[in-house]
Amino acid sequence: MLAFPMISEAQQVRVLSEGLDFIGDIGSTHRKTVILQNESDQPKTYFLKNLSGNLGSSQQMKICIGDQCYDAKRDLAKIKLSLNPGEILTDLYLDLDMGIAETRGSFDLVFVNENNLREAFVVEAQYNVSNPNKKVNDFDYESISLSDVYPNPSNRVAQFDYKIKKQGAHAKIVINSFIGNPIAEYVLDPERPSLSINVSDFNPGIYFYTLFVDNKNIVTKKLQVKK
């Protein structure tokens, strides 16, 4: 008989996402995009084997592949990713409901090749949940003060109140669909105190709006549109 040495499997899928940090208030929901690349010359299919870490009992996380979402705690066996050779996957999202308690921690998602259990990759993330009652202004940043969107849900007009405090700062609101597709972008005029958005032409559903200041992602929150 011939004996062959055990060789550790090289990682075939690379996690390209950086800064999977969920930062927000009690009761808020935040979305992060996970970008993966199959660096091999073979098609690969992975399933979610394990969710490890210290997510709180009131925190809920959904893993969305395109517009199909799964409960991360209950639907492990249903969550599968298929990547063609060289493919970069950009429609994998993590939605985290921050829960009801001020806390911080981290978690890992361990994906395993369904045809080779020694081949795996890990998505790492952190979270920091704040209590808004301990803040003077939830959206009071160095360069800008921004209100939450209101009314929310909205069926006609959604509004933000703001004040740009740093001269020359470039601020904008970007709205994306539930699956991450860009919907609209609005530059905040430093000479005006508010931004009104006509959402009557939006399809009913959940959207995410992000504040950018000088091209830096400051905060992302949820907007619900109803008819």
Q: Look at residues 19, 18, 110, 120 and name the one whose alpha carbon lies nearest to residue 72.
A: 110
* Dist CA 106 CA 92 (whole Å): 19
* pLDDT in the model for residue 72: 86
* Dist CA 81 CA 176 (whole Å): 23
- Does residue 163 lie in a domain region? yes
- Does residue 29 lie in a domain region? yes
* Dist CA 223 CA 227 (whole Å): 13
Compute the C-alpha angle 160/161/162, nearest 5°.
115
Residue 102 and residue 148 in one domain: no
* pLDDT in the model for residue 11: 64
Residues 6+ apart with CB under 8 A from 114: 45, 46, 47, 80
Residue 93 and residue 176 in one domain: no
Beta bridge partners of residue 209, listed in sequence order:
175, 221
**Average pLDDT for runs of 10 along the chain of length 227:** 38 81 86 92 94 86 93 88 94 92 89 92 89 55 83 87 88 91 93 89 92 88 89
- Final residue belonging to a domain, choices 71, 103, 132: 132
How many separate domains does the chain show? 2
Task: Supply the DSSP string of 113-161, one letter for each residue.
Answer: ETTEEEEEEEEEEEEEEE-GGG-S-TTB-SSEEEPPPBSSSBSSEEEEE
- Residue ranges making up the domain that contains 107: 13-132
Query: Which structure tokens are listed for 187?
Result: 């530059």
* pLDDT in the model for residue 40: 93
Amino acid at 135: K
* pLDDT in the model for residue 10: 55
Residue 146 and residue 115 in one domain: no
* pLDDT in the model for residue 6: 33
